[in-house]
Structure 1
């Protein structure tokens, strides 16, 4: 696949939250033009979607996990469980990119806990695949593809359990 060639470019994790309409310095915590800058996770919907206690539904940017709600895809329940272990009940920080919402009205965000970007963690551990939908993620696509490539090479998570892998 074409992304594997680009994935060799290196991780560049320093770019993780460096673009888009993320919260500016000195923010009072109210958030950006997109939505809140933080919130408490009330419910984990699946491997890449959460509900905040304040009522917002958040879809993680740059990743896709196998389905575990309506249909059960290979590694879907494991991806949901991994996400829940990382964020359930936690106060998460949200950083946004260029487009704030998807066609379903969900906020699109990078989700962090204690400085750890959960979107990246899920890819790195083999629970998620890269899903790049421009214009969001342009500055991070190489980073995420490198994480996916490494997880695949090390047969982490879905890469060892699913044949074929649920990634496109």
Structure 2
């Protein structure tokens, strides 16, 4: 339904432009074609309302982007009114009030377009601030809600399989990255086993385990769920960062609700020289960029034959070399 509103918005705007163009052409040739202009302006108003409804309901763009679309519609409407004024003046028809209407519409369009800019308070990262201020269209219905789960199996420090929605699903801990335990290129990273052991300890000792989705997409391109994980009410993501067993990484707005909290924990761990911060470098990230995990598996192994040369038994879901394309039976093991 949300996408339908967005499509209808664009169609209404397109129809408004066509009707206006036809009306203007006939007016120049025949005169008195006021109904066409009125209809086109009405359709543009409908397009603006539909665009707002689409962004509020969720249609793949933030509310800030939705306001920009509405602003563009209003600017087009102002341009249309001004064009009518110019043509009417050229034909010596009554054009009283058109300039005023065009100015009002123009100001409204500009105001709508700059609202997101005035609501930002972090000039260093405007994209993040817009997304955090307005949210995203792909909002999870469970965003902010803690959902009880049970451990199905352990993968590594920042990935665990939980029983969720009737299946054993892989969960990637949001906004953090722990050292690898079995990287296809650089092998085991310092403190990788310690991070995995700590995650396992926290979850095994907990009487209640919960996951919390953020406001953005619930899954990554590996089809892993993205969540904050809680053990007896304590956020495991934060504990790992605070103890120096993980660093804040892969920051993808709008999934940044607890980013400030995690960054504060990281600063404290670094100041105390805990875990990875006691090393010369936190650990070798092999040139991966913040914001997107490396597709090292895809780059390193083109097919199962290549992968089995390094991992004869295959690799589990969550392993850097794992890809869904190599897991034909979708059992969580690639190239077994």
Cα drift, residue 99 of structure 1 = 1.3
Where relative contact order (Cα < 8 A, 6+ residues apart) is larger, the structure is 1
Cα drift, residue 138 of structure 1 = 2.7
Deviations 1:14-73 (A, max 9, x none): xxxxxx637379x8xxx8xxxxx2211122211100011441100000100010133201
* Structure 2 residue runs without a partner (length 5+): 1-123, 125-138, 286-336
Partner residue, 1:64: 177
Equivalent runs, 1:48-87 vs 2, <5 Å = 48-53=158-163, 54-70=167-183, 71-87=187-203
Contact 1:123 1:148 survives alignment (8 Å):
yes
1:167/1:139 Cα in 2 relative to 1: closer, same or farther (>3 Å)? Answer: farther
Tell me whether 1:21 sits opposite 2:140 in the alignment.
yes
SS in 2 for 1:88: helix
Partner residue, 1:149: 267
Equivalent runs, 1:112-131 vs 2, <5 Å = 112-131=230-249
Take 1:147 and 1:120, find their aligned partners in 2: how far apart are those partners? 7
Deviations 1:62-99 (A, max 9, x none): 10001013320111111111111111375421110111
Tell me whether 1:135 sits opposite 2:262 in the alignment.
no
Contact 1:40 1:52 survives alignment (8 Å):
yes
Contact 1:44 1:88 survives alignment (8 Å):
no
Equivalent runs, 1:149-168 vs 2, <5 Å = 149-160=267-278, 162-166=279-283
Cα drift, residue 136 of structure 1 = 4.0
Name whichever structure is richer in helix by fraction. Answer: 2
Larger radius of gyration: 2
1:163/1:55 Cα in 2 relative to 1: closer, same or farther (>3 Å)? Answer: same
TM-score, reference length from structure 1:
0.73
- Give the ranges of 4+ consecutive aligned residues of structure 1 lying more than 3 Å apart after TM superposition: 20-25, 88-91
Take 2:143 and 2:265, find their aligned partners in 1: how far apart are those partners? 27
The number of residues matched between the two structures is 141
Take 2:148 and 2:233, find their aligned partners in 1: how far apart are those partners? 12
Cα drift, residue 134 of structure 1 = 1.7
Take 1:100 and 1:22, find their aligned partners in 2: how far apart are those partners? 10
TM-score, reference length from structure 2:
0.38
Cα drift, residue 166 of structure 1 = 1.7
Contact 1:42 1:89 survives alignment (8 Å):
no
Contact 1:46 1:69 survives alignment (8 Å):
no
Take 1:123 and 1:155, find their aligned partners in 2: how far apart are those partners? 12
CA-atom RMSD in angstroms: 2.6
1:167/1:111 Cα in 2 relative to 1: closer, same or farther (>3 Å)? Answer: farther
